[in-house]
Amino acid sequence: MLRVMHLAGWQAQALRTGTMLPGGMICVLIALAASHAAGLHGGPPMLYALLFGTALHYLSHEIRTAPGVQACGSTVLRLGVGLLGARITFGQIADLGWTTALLLTGAVATTLLCGLLLARRLGLSRSLGVLAGGATAICGASAALAIAAVLPRNEAVERDTLAVVVLATLLSTLAMLLYPLIASALALPPALAGLFIGGTIHDVAQVIVAGYALGPETGDAASIIKLLRVSLLPLAVLVISVAVRKAAPRAPVGIARPAALIPGFLLLFLILMVLNSMGWLSPTAQSALNEGSRSCLMVGVAALGMKTSFIHLARSGWQQAFLMVATTTWIGLFVLFAVMLLRDGWL
């Protein structure tokens, strides 16, 4: 009897794996195509993955491909966020000093608050305000995807997440081109230029490009500052998760229950961060984990694009774009003002 039950369970698992394979392979192919297109023509690979995925939106409703797309848009995506922890050590954070740490914490907290308050003012949902503020404040698309994982699951949240990811990528690219010019015009020294660029631009890749465009010292400073912002992701997700769970009993009937208080991907992030801080991750392991994170995020973003159409996205109106521009402007001015105070010796 036990043997029969074991065989039935194995067959069910094989069936689920086979069902997920077609959709999963399509997401992988989209991610590979996006990486190739970015290599040939430049630009953010995630944006290509989103656009290519959206063009194949109809496959997210096909019986053969829908399970795989769903798995890539949830499990694989969260795994990619969790693997980001291998980039950070506590030593990197400590080296920045209390002034920088408090400044960046204030920038992240006020930008999240700005997103919430402005979303309310514009008549948008709290979820969208949290997504917009978190993506702008921490690490762009990766932060939006991590935050979305602890929000109640429904079509509106998925649509808002896609909009935030697209807008964050576009605005981050624009900032990558504009902010080095601002730093040069203000004659900021390398350390302060790195603080401005690393403390404001959304995505890690754009921070690196913008920072090293001003020289190796600025690039190194910007990279470490950006990693400090990324290290605030677990705390932000945890706070949002607690707030969502407290609000859950008052949620309307039909809204999905929130995710676990401490999601698995968040634990993975923290574990890898601790291991990296203790020197237990070799350079080879770090490189492999970083590449794995990038690959999982690309596959997950492709799936996210497949699950939402531009028609649905266009129906949301101009308010989403205005919200993202406003939060981006806020954190830019906040950090720039602090940098000017530091330069003039007021901080």
**pLDDT 10s digits, 95-148:** 778 888 899 999 999 999 999 999 999 999 999 999 999 999 998 888 898 898
List, in order, residues 6 or more apart from 198 with CB less than 8 Å away.
207, 211, 221, 222, 223, 224, 225, 226, 228, 229
**What is the pTM (predicted TM-score) of this model?**
0.74
Max distance between CA atoms of the chain, in angstroms, equals: 79
Predicted pLDDT at 6: 41
Report the chain's terminal Cα–Cα distance, integer Å: 73
Predicted pLDDT at 95: 77
Taking the CB of residue 8, how many other CB atoms lie within 10 A of it? 10
Distance, in Å, from the CA atom of 307 to the CA atom of 150, rounded to the nearest integer, reads 18
Backbone angles phi, psi at 168, to 5 degrees: -65, -40
Predicted pLDDT at 313: 60
* Contact assessment for residue 224 and residue 96, using Cβ atoms and an 8 Å cutoff: yes
| Tally of helices (H runs) and strands (E runs) in the chain | 17, 0
Closest CA to 30 of 3, 59, 10, 1: 59
Closest CA to 313 of 151, 121, 156: 156
Predicted pLDDT at 255: 43
Predicted pLDDT at 60: 82
Q: Print pLDDT tens along the chain (347 aa).
A: 434 334 334 334 433 455 888 889 999 999 999 999 988 887 778 778 888 988 888 888 888 888 898 888 878 878 887 888 887 788 877 777 888 889 999 999 999 999 999 999 999 999 999 999 999 999 888 889 889 888 887 778 888 888 898 888 888 878 888 999 999 999 999 989 999 999 999 887 778 778 888 888 888 788 889 888 888 888 898 888 888 887 765 544 444 444 455 667 778 888 998 999 899 999 999 999 989 988 998 898 888 788 766 666 666 568 888 999 999 999 999 999 999 999 888 87
Distance, in Å, from the CA atom of 187 to the CA atom of 22, rounded to the nearest integer, reads 54
Exposure pattern of 228-254 as b/e (b: 16+ CB <10 Å)?
bbbbbbbebbbebbeebeeeeeeeeee
DSSP string, 70-87: HHIIIIIHHHHHHGGGGG
Distance, in Å, from the CA atom of 69 to the CA atom of 98, rounded to the nearest integer, reads 43
DSSP strand E in the chain: where?
Answer: none
Predicted pLDDT at 340: 94
Predicted pLDDT at 142: 82
pLDDT > 90: what percent of the chain? 31
Q: What is the pLDDT of residues 32-53, one digit of tens each?
A: 999 999 888 877 787 788 889 8
Predicted pLDDT at 329: 96
